[in-house]
Amino acid sequence: MRITLTPAAPFRLDLTALALRRDAANVVDRWRPPTYRRVFAPDGAAFEVVVQQHAPTEEPRLTVDVLGPEGVYPTQQVAALLSAVLGLDLDLGAFYAAAANDDPLAELARRFAGLRPPLLPTVFEALVSGVACQQLSLAVGMRLLARLAAAYGAEHEGHHAFPRPEDLSSAEPQHLRAMGFSLRKSETILHLAGAATEGRLDLESLRGVDTGTAVANLMDLPGIGRWTAHYVALRGLGRLEVFPVDDVGAQNKLQDVLGLKQRPGSEETRRIVDRWGAYQGFLYFHLLLDGLERRGMFDPVEPSI
């Protein structure tokens, strides 16, 4: 099955997929130019999407091939799912207008024009991803998540979806420990999965509350501190007004971009990013891409389409 999507301009699939993937160790969100691929299994039956961009940044058009059993997921729902994950329907005009008058942000916005703030498909995935990456490098955290997906995620032709809470019902802490998770992280992930499966925890309901309440509710969960709550608010709930101020990597990138003499701490980071208000979380994604570019992981020049 093939569907066509028309994002609001500007849009670049490559930049958005890279911000979603974060690191080459991510085997769930796969980017191999010019194609983004991912296996989904929202109802347990796996299907894969293959997304390509066929028109330039200012006139974007995407084709999506859906691979899997016929009718496993309705076309309209696939379109809605990808629109959310890739931020296709977001109106970022106010961001670009503000960025034009802000020297450090103007350069980032120009270089990465077409980036959209990506969204992980479920709050559960964002939460587990945040827990996995606590106090670790991004590459190590991504390798842990890759092992978790391979062991428990629904499979389609050798690739795996991210596990749902119920997919982890048979897992024991020692199983996750064998993958490299600490005992505390193993217990946290399985507690959250069990609570969600049994109906004691409704993570998706956080989409319907204000950001402050969502962050507070997340921090009430065992094993979830401010960094993880901010991470989930941004990557799982799409709250662009949230910048993970405790993120050391983001602090380092702010130091580089702004030419600061030293890395800002959490409170100084908060004071710095507050100037970008409702779009400070979008700045976070720009800083992520800047870091990937500095590491030589991609060329920001728009590919020929």
Active-site position among 102, 247, 274, 290: 247
Q: How far is CA 217 from the centre of its chain?
A: 20
Cα–Cα distance, 5 to 203 (Å, whole number): 28
Cα–Cα distance, 68 to 59 (Å, whole number): 30
Handedness of CA 242, 233, 150, 43 (dihedral sign): negative
Contact between residue 160 and residue 40 where contact means Cβ atoms under 8 Å apart: no
Q: Crossing angle, helix 183-197 and helix 123-133, to 10 degrees? A: 170
294 vs 30, 115, 170, 252, CA distance in Å? 20, 17, 42, 13
Please indicate whether residue 202 is annotated as part of the active site.
no
Residues tagged active-site: 247
